[in-house]
Amino acid sequence: MEHIHILMVDDHPIIIEGYQNTLMATKKEHQTLIIDTANNCDTANILLRKAADERPYDVCFFDISLPASSDGTITSGEDLAKICRALMPTTKVVILTMFNESFRIHGIVKEINPDGFLIKSDLTSLELSEAFQHILFDPPYYSSTVSSFLKKAISNDEYVDEINRKILYLLSQGIKTRSLTDHIDLSMSAIEKRKKQLKSLFKVEDGRDETLIMKAKEKGLV
């Protein structure tokens, strides 16, 4: 019997329940699934660190848009995926998200290089079960929208990296631009340049930080 340890992280319990039911109903006869769940970054972080000390997960599913950790250092499923990679290098990392903009997909692939990348609007029970088995034995598995975007060329500066996401998060928490250098190891001119690039990428025509944050929230970046 093969015991497969899984972590599922999503802020909607009913979605996790659906994932669980699908995998349990479609697993192979020789497979036993042991599934932990988390609805926020704090709980997921605790489970990841506990597993790293005891028995690493075989597969971790991370939704991108999650409530930030209480100390603000972990703001998304992307951050959790990086923690997982650092603590448990052999664990298969699967990203699930509603967001399907090209720059978002390319950014996640570049930053995380996930073993599985599924857009929720592509997902059916059949595809989830097929993706799970594929990821276990022959990763990566990318759903159709992801594969389509990855076939198209995109410039290297058209994705939102970890620093840009931190800038967006800090601005969303009310931190003024002049104080960002206290939290990010960049010069003010470098931060201003990044903000300008973000406003261009998100088509912020009025130039206001408030509009930038609104657009970032719409895209699940904060």
The tens digit of pLDDT for each residue in 49-67 reads 999 999 999 999 999 989 8
User: Are 68 and 94 in a shared domain?
Assistant: yes
Where is the domain boundary, 96, 119, 150? 150
Where is the domain boundary, 150, 173, 200? 150
Question: In this structure, is residue 156 part of a structural domain?
Answer: no
User: Are 74 and 29 in a shared domain?
Assistant: yes
7, 49 contact by CB (below 8 A): no
* pLDDT value, residue 157: 47
Domain total for the chain? 2
Question: In this structure, is residue 155 part of a structural domain?
Answer: no
Q: Tens digit of pLDDT for each residue in 120-150?
A: 888 899 999 999 999 999 999 998 888 877 7
User: Are 73 and 134 in a shared domain?
Assistant: yes
Residue 31: beta bridge partners?
2
DSSP per residue, 71-138? TSS--SHHHHHHHHHHH-TTSEEEEEES---HHHHHHHHHHH--SEEEEGGG--HHHHHHHHHHHHHS
Question: In this structure, is residue 93 part of a structural domain?
Answer: yes
* pLDDT value, residue 169: 87
The pTM of the full predicted model, rounded to 2 decimals, is 0.71
User: Are 14 and 116 in a shared domain?
Assistant: yes
User: Are 29 and 61 in a shared domain?
Assistant: yes
Give the range among 45-49, 92-96, 155-159 with minimum mean pLDDT.
155-159
Domain range holding 202?
A: 162-218
